[in-house]
Amino acid sequence: MVDKGIIERKLKANNYKLTPQRRAIIDALFEHRGRFIAAGEIHSKTLSRHSGTDFSTVYRNLEILEKMGIIHKTNIRGGAAVYELICDHSHHHHIICKGCGKTEIISACPLEHLMEDVEDKGFTVIDHKFELYGYCSKCYNKR
Amino acid sequence: MVDKGIIERKLKANNYKLTPQRRAIIDALFEHRGRFIAAGEIHSKTLSRHSGTDFSTVYRNLEILEKMGIIHKTNIRGGAAVYELICDHSHHHHIICKGCGKTEIISACPLEHLMEDVEDKGFTVIDHKFELYGYCSKCYNKR
DNA sequence: CTTCGTGCAAAAAATTTGCATCCGT
DNA sequence: ACGGATGCAAATTTTTTGCACGAAG
């Protein structure tokens, strides 16, 4: 996934229409590329691009995007789920500090090592998530 | 993490008390070893072991257990978060079907390949999560 | 025109919090 | 006894749904 254009083509290919709201949501996610963002934040960002966009619209679209493998949904940050756009051209994973919540990017990807094993099980892999949890040096020293 | 005993010792070591509620919650998680379980299910299971246990108690304990690296919290299954006990003696990851939600276990672990890379960043890794998403053969054929 | 998408309003679900009391240690 | 843990009740926050209308292809 290189740019917004590809996402939009992918949507069309699946009979999804290109509404301004949807575009605004994708823009918000795109602007946040590489970081996690919660539904609430996506909603506010979307508002500034297309005022009036409803929260339910945001959720409905996040669900679609997730099913299509365009975004990821994860649970860090206590309560609300966070989302992240998947960009192949900068494919990466995260290490998340359990102390302060800070995240850093890991560029290595472990998938290649076990693709075969998995497809033996009859599953067709279309996406994956790899996250490391630990403590950054600051938080580690505080203990 | 081999058995409940170790979890209990780990709690004591961190000044957490061993209440019957907490024990019941751990038991519920333990009984579910290897599978995901939502807070609601944990609560019901806990009730049968120690009736009266409150939902808030369940959540407070799940938070503690997660912070201690004893359980994992994930988002599949639309709404609620799901939890899973981490057992070293049967360390594994999951592949999750985006169609029907079915999960299967992957025993290979990708972590060893990139431990060094990560610790270079100053992070101390204490836990990790690796999840594959795709379609099981049934759901794949339906498309 | 046909189908999908949206806003609105409301509900349901999930999670969190304050506080008085209770119970492990 | 002390300090953490619990239950209760209530509030918040997050997410989902039904429906009539509007808009994209």
B143 in the same domain as B133: yes
Residue of B nearest to A140 (CA): B124
Choose one of A74, A89, A104: the last residue of a domain.
A89
Q: Residues B8, B78: one domain?
A: yes
Question: Which of the pair, B136 or A117, is modelled with greater confidence?
Answer: B136
State, as a whole number of angstroms, the distance between the CA of A56 and the C1' of C7: 9
Q: Is B30 on the interface with A (CB under 8 A)?
A: no
Q: Are residues A13 and A82 in the same domain?
A: yes
- Nucleic strand C contact set for B 36-75 (CB, < 7 Å): 38-40, 55-56, 59-60, 63
Which CATH number is A130's domain given? 3.30.1490.190
Domain housing B137: 90-143
Q: Do A129 and B134 touch (CB under 8 A)?
A: no
Tell me which residue in A74, A113, A121 faces B104 most closely, judged by beta carbons: A121
* Cβ–Cβ < 8 Å for B74, B130: no
Q: Give the angle subtended at the CA of B135 by the CAs of B104 and B72, to the nearest 5°.
A: 40
Same domain membership, residue B111 and residue B100: yes
Strand-pairing partners, residue B50, are none
Asked if residues A95 and A131 have their Cβ atoms less than 8 Å apart, the reply is yes
Per-residue pLDDT tens for A67-124?
A: 898 999 998 877 899 999 987 667 888 888 877 778 888 888 888 777 777 777 788 8
Neighbours of A139 (CB within 10 A): 17
Q: Is the CB of B79 under 7 A from strand C?
A: yes
Instruction: Please tell me whether residues A43 and A72 are part of one structural domain.
Output: yes
Q: What is the CA radius of gyration of chain A?
A: 17
Choosing from A44, A72, A89, the residue where a domain stops is A89
Q: Which of A70, A89, A108 is the last residue of a domain?
A: A89
- Is strand C within 7 Å of residue A78 (CB)? yes
Interval B16-51: pLDDT, tens: 999 999 999 999 999 998 889 999 999 999 999 999
Give yes or no: residues B83 and B109 share one domain.
no
Domain shared by A65 and A25, yes or no: yes
Buried b (16+ CB within 10 A) or exposed e, B86-105: bbeeeeebbbbbbbeeebee
Tell whether A23 and A38 lie within a shared domain: yes
Judgement on whether residues A11 and A58 belong to the same structural domain of the protein: yes
* Count of C-beta atoms within a 10 Å radius of residue B72: 21
pTM of the model: 0.86
Say which CATH number the domain at B48 has.
1.10.10.10
List protein-proximal bases of chain D (any atom < 7 A from a CB): 3-10, 13-18, 23-25
Kindly state whether residues A73 and A110 are assigned to the same domain: no
Residues B26 and B55 in one domain: yes
Task: For residues B39 and B108, state if they share a domain.
Answer: no
Whether A56 sits with its Cβ under 7 A from any strand C atom: the answer reads: yes
Any strand C atom closer than 7 Å to A43 CB: no
Structural domains counted in chain B: 2
